[in-house]
Structure 1
Amino acid sequence: MLRKYDKALDILSQLAREAPTWLPNQRYAQDTLRTIVGRRRTLTPEMRKLADAVGLDP
């Protein structure tokens, strides 16, 4: 909502490290990452890793 995508990616990356089994069950994490990925032409390796972690098909 605030369009602070860098901060959102940092938080999602931290969650992926600290709670890898919890993150894929979080709908808001999927929605947030879907929004970020949808605005990019190419994904960084970190974005690809997060997409895999939340079960998003980029």
Structure 2
Amino acid sequence: MAQAVRFYEHGAPEVMKWENVEVGEPGPHGVRIRHEAVGLNFADTYFRTGLYPA
């Protein structure tokens, strides 16, 4: 099971939720990559606050 940061509404950082998500098997020519670290960019705050439509 993988983990993801998701948000379902616009707002402050508190709207971001850490969730477990199902990841399907890769397709015939696909690969699965394990991330050791991830980051959020400043542009991600625009999505979260609703200033930049997804």
Tell me which protein shows more strand as a share of its residues: 2
Answer yes or no: same fold by TM over 0.5. no
TM-score normalised by L of structure 1:
0.22
TM-score normalised by L of structure 2:
0.23
Tell me which protein shows more helix as a share of its residues: 1
